[in-house]
Amino acid sequence: MAKDAVRVLVTGAAGQIGYALVPMVARGVMLGPDQPVILHMLDIEPAAEALNGVKMELIDAAFPLLKDVIATTDVVEACAGVNIAVMVGGFPRKEGMERKDVMSKNVSIYKAQASALEKHAAENCKVLVVANPANTNALILKEFAPSIPEKNITCLTRLDHNRALGQISERLDIQVSDVKNVIIWGNHSSTQYPDVSHATVTSSSGEKSVRELVADDKWLKTEFITTVQQRGAAIIKARKLSSALSAASAACDHIRDWVLGTPKGTWVSMGVYSDGSYGIPPGLIYSFPVTCEKGEWSIVKGLKIDEFSRAKMDATANELMEEKSLAYSCLN
């Protein structure tokens, strides 16, 4: 029997990531090739015409899994009955703008959209925040949607995770699908800590540690980390636009693994509400290694943390605490 359609909200759908993301959702990349979907696309009034253009293209693409498309600038209509919400819309930092001004704009957007989701989304709606500052936007959303379980509110660090996999595969000249269990700790910002201490490579002779295979701790502790941290800036420099297809693909990976589960023995990175694991203060949305099963994520516990990792994990937690107080100061 055909499955019921899942309603997927994409905010900021007329933007770059939105344009790359909605066809992926409609093709079954996010929820599987047998899962019909109804797309809800939200953007703001100045982008209404462009949003309608995206809707026209979705119709023209005749995706068999796409059962309906709602394109709207009305947040209530956009959120009505959605099962999955991918929050890509936000206020970008413009030249000359203070950090506080950008934070303040995003805090008010995420406060309003939290209320709309809380009132109008389907029960158990899963939320993924992509728009920057992603961790703090997700935290604001959580605070202003208290009836949505905190386990349902996450932010995207999967792009950073995938970038780390990509760098290791390039360095070792192996397939990216043979590398697993890198970790992104912390903030989706340049303080994030890409960690390969527990990462492995699968080969015909079994699993080997990335660290042993790379055999260059200096590179792993310096260039590898900064390359992943600054990959977003490198893409902007090359493309004169920020990463979009890789961000959209990572958003699909994040939701797919959350809903359908991670493969046995593999973890992924997700920004989730800290439960105090690894000494990270509760009350932050922090990227951890997680496994997913039956629609629920769990933080991978008991990994050994050395002194180098500890310092990096704390530094990115400190930045998140600062962002949190800045966000709260914008609420007054």
Contact positions vs ligand NAD (CB under 6 A): 11-12, 14-18, 42-44, 47, 88-92, 109, 130-132, 134, 156, 159, 188, 242-244, 247
Sign of the dihedral through C-alpha 14, 19, 24, 30? negative
Which of the following is catalytic: 40, 161, 188, 198? 188
Q: Which of 321, 328, 16, 329 is nearest to 144 (CA)?
A: 328
> Cα–Cα distances in Å, from 19 out to 42, 55, 162?
12, 10, 20
**17 labelled as ligand-binding?**
yes
Considering the complex, state which of residue 52 and residue 209 has its C-beta at the smaller distance from ligand NAD: 52
* Residue 192 or 262 having the CB closest to ligand NAD: 192
Q: Is 132 annotated as belonging to a binding site?
A: yes
Decide whether 107 or 196 has the Cβ nearer to ligand NAD: 107
Question: What span, in angstroms and rounded, lies between the C-alpha atoms of 307 and 88?
Answer: 35
Half-sphere exposure of 320 (CA within 13 A, CB side): 33
Min CB(307)–ligand NAD separation in Å: 28
Confirm if 207 and 200 have CB atoms less than 8 A apart: yes
Structure-block tokens of residue 101: 């001004």
Q: Is 90 annotated as a binding residue?
A: no
Instruction: Kindly state the smallest distance separating residue 216's Cβ from ligand NAD, in Å.
Output: 27
Least distance CB 282 / ligand NAD (angstroms) = 22
Looking up tokens 């993301």 gives 21
Q: Is 120 a catalytic residue?
A: no
Quote the tokens at residue 46.
């100045």
Residue 96 known to bind ligand: no
The residue (of 92 and 265) whose beta carbon lies closer to ligand NAD is 92
State both tokens at 159: 């792009």
User: What is the number of the residue whose Cβ is closest to ligand NAD?
Assistant: 15
Q: Which amino acid is at 29?
A: V
Cis amide leading into 36 (omega within 30): no
211 known ligand binder: no
Shortest separation between residue 133's beta carbon and ligand NAD, angstroms = 8
Least Cβ distance, residue 90 to ligand NAD (angstroms): 4
Decide: 58 and 70 in contact? Cβ < 8 Å: no
Residues assigned a catalytic role: 188
Q: Which residues make up each annotated binding site for substrate?
A: 93, 99, 132, 163
Q: Which residues are annotated as a binding site?
A: 12-18, 43, 93, 99, 106, 130-132, 163
Residue ranges of the annotated binding site for NAD(+) are 12-18, 43, 106, 130-132
